[in-house]
Amino acid sequence: MFENVSLLGKRWLLPEHTELDAKHMVETLLRQRQLHAPVTEPSFTDMEKSVDRIHRAVSCREHVAIFGDYDCDGITATALLVRYFNRRGMNPLVRLPHRERDGYGLSSAIIDEFIQSKVTLLITVDNGISALQEVALATQGGMDVIVTDHHALGEGVPNAYAILHPALAGANEPHPSGAGVAYLLVQALEAGPWQEQAEDCVLAMCGTVADLVGLRGFNRQLVSQGLSALEKVTGEPLALLRESTKARTSTDIAFRIAPRINAAGRMGEPDLALKALLSGGDAIAEIEELNTKRQQLSRDLYEDAVVRVDFRSPLLFAADENYPNGMIGLVAGRLTEASGKPSCVVGIRGTECTASLRSPACYSVVEGLQRCSDLLTRFGGHAQAAGCNFPLSALEELQDRLKADIEERTCDEDLLPTIQVDALLSPHHISLDLCNAIDTLEPFGAGNAEPRFLLQSVLLGDVRRVGTDGAHLQCTVAGTKAVGFGLGMKDIRTGIPFDIICCVQKNHWNGNTQPQLLIEDMRATKTEAIHVPAATKVAV
């Protein structure tokens, strides 16, 4: 059994007992994270066929429909295709699903809408790879269907006119997001630099960061280019969105822009976020207001779920009629982050259920759902984040089977919350030079997290609690300002040494720039610390 001794009850995964200077730290992380590998842009077997079909639709002024998704990746991917057709003087029919009314992905009812509208070309973005029956219905209804998607493949693929999917193309992992695939399609359609390329790159970057695909290879390159483009755009709506959120980095995109885009689909109509991205104006203020409401609702629902779940179980499971479909993924994510275990949060509507699942790296929830597919009416997603629909009558059996599946494929130590440390750090190495070296590893995100450092046996100075109800910790470590969000209510005694896990960032204040520590976890210093080589890391 592992002993949880940190303030947050997490196991610490420690690197070799070696302190690295700024230069060697960057070189080591570049090598470990494979960030120096040559970038190969994904190519798709059906790309030429897709481009020819879309060009023909533009030439003949066909009735084109774009079907997207209600999250940031799907909305930005939709915006990319809409902007392409707008540049050609066309206004395609755009349909984004509503979480409550439509659920995820294509449905026969939505296909009927397209048939009634006499659509001849349907393009899906960020969905469609699992819609075998719906694509067949669309084809029977006189439509050619181009599927662009990146979600996990099932047992078969749709009989579509063309499919753009990185797994079918044999692309290197990590695969592009839905917006990344859409951007590559637009790039092929434009066949060279185009007037609005910077704006399109920003949209693709936002979708890539928001969907938590690994930021290596093509994805890393796309996000880097998108962040550079974000600095340069001057017109609405993207410049207004940038200035209203003060977003400059990939972390800003993840925590400021993406939640605002997602808030529309979670709290109301995803079309509002699409309008904000395409037209700006009041829609940007509206999604900001929705995001504020979303934050409070998320806190309330999480507090409700915490008292419902059994933290002794390998699966944290909560179901209720009052859980909005747009919020269950956020609650599941927070449960998994806090516990280190897979979670499933279910919204019940009459006799039907919608669930969102999240998991640590030790278990694939989408594969777990595949093994329970006989209970489900629909499912899809990724290894660590997935969703499904099923009848209320299957609720208990699904919980039991997922729990048994997790028990079979994991061990106890897999299902404990962990925090990964990248390098040991001595206080005298904290400097702006180190901050500048860390900046060269940007952009940060999935697969390339901001480096975490371990400071051993340090004393805290000027300790005080700040923020609402003293929720946050502010102090100094060896003369450097430090902040610990959410640590203000912990029992932190002064005068005793602590081991601290932190990130080293720049603090810009009053015209000055100084290093600042962002404390993620801490514990009273042990008399002996255990350190192991990176190749055989263990929990301590």
- Residues 6+ positions from 360 with CB-CB distance below 8 Å: 336, 340, 341, 342, 384, 414, 415, 418
Q: Is the dihedral of CA 211, 213, 215, 220 positive or negative?
A: negative
Identify the pLDDT of residue 37. Answer: 81
Alpha-carbon distance 167 to 331, whole Å?
Answer: 30
For residue 158, the SS3 value is: coil
Strand partners, 539: 13
Residue 336 and residue 352 in contact, taking contact as beta carbons nearer than 8 Å: no
| DSSP secondary structure, 470-483, as one string | G-EEEEEETTEEEE
Domains and CATH numbers, the chain: 11-32+421-536 (2.40.50.460), 47-290 (3.90.1640.30), 308-415 (3.10.310.30)
- Residues 226 and 394: their CA atoms lie apart, in Å, by 44
Predicted pLDDT of residue 5: 62
- For residue 193, give every residue at least 6 positions away whose Cβ sits within 8 Å of its Cβ, in sequence order, or none: none
9 half-sphere exposure, CB direction, 13 A CA radius: 8
Tell me the C-alpha distance between 364 and 352, whole Å: 24
With beta carbons less than 8 A apart as the criterion, state whether 206 and 249 touch: no
Distances (CA, A) of 122 to 104, 138, 380: 17, 8, 21
Dump the DSSP string for 446-457: TTBPPP-EEEEE
Q: What is the pLDDT of residue 382?
A: 86
Is the four-CA dihedral 245, 250, 251, 253 of positive or negative sign? positive
Q: What is the pLDDT of residue 17?
A: 60
Q: What is the pLDDT of residue 146?
A: 98
**Distance (Å, rounded) from C-alpha 343 to C-alpha 80?**
33
Strand pairing class (144-148; 162-164): parallel
Q: Determine if the peptide bond prior to 237 is cis (ω within 30°).
A: yes
Question: How far apart are the C-alpha atoms of 519 and 247, rounded to whole Å?
Answer: 22
CA distances from 287 to 14, 57, 73 (A): 41, 33, 16
Which segments in the chain show pLDDT lower than 50?
A: 1-4, 527-540
**Distance from chain centroid for Cα 48:** 30
Q: Per-residue pLDDT tens for 433-470? A: 999 999 999 999 998 999 999 999 999 999 999 987 88
> Strand pairing partners for 477?
460, 480
Residues 275-325 have pLDDT tens digits of 999 999 999 999 999 999 999 999 999 999 999 999 999 999 999 999 999
DSSP β-ladder status, 512-524 and 480-484 = parallel
Quick one: which H or E segment has residue 77? helix 72-87
Instruction: Round to whole Å and give the CA distance between 422 and 424.
Output: 7
Residue 14 is predicted with a pLDDT of 86
In whole angstroms, what separates CA 110 from the centre of its chain?
A: 27
**φ/ψ bin of 257: left (φ > 0), alpha (ψ from -120 to 50), beta (otherwise):** alpha
CA-to-CA distance for 322 and 301, rounded, in angstroms? 9
Output the pLDDT for position 18: 66
**The token pair that represents 160 in the structure block:** 């579509």
CA separation (Å) from 307 to 4, 263, 267, 300, 533? 21, 25, 24, 12, 39
How high is the pLDDT of residue 531? 37
* Of 133, 132, 159, 160, nearest in space to 145 by CA: 160
Residue 290, pLDDT score: 97
Tell me how far apart the alpha carbons of residues 265 and 267 are, in angstroms, rounded to a whole number.
6
pTM: 0.88
Q: What 3-state DSSP class applies to 352?
A: strand
CA dist 30 → 15, 33, 34, 460 (Å): 15, 5, 6, 32
Tell me which residue of 95, 85, 86, 93 sits closest to 65, measured CA to CA. 93
Tell me the two tokens of residue 192: 């060279």
Report yes or no: 81 and 66 within 8 Å, Cβ to Cβ: yes
Please say whether the dihedral angle defined by the alpha carbons of residues 104, 106, 111 and 113, taken in this order, is positive or negative: positive
Q: C-alpha dihedral over 44, 189, 203, 449, to 10 degrees?
A: 30
Selection from 34, 17, 456 nearest residue 216 by Cα: 34
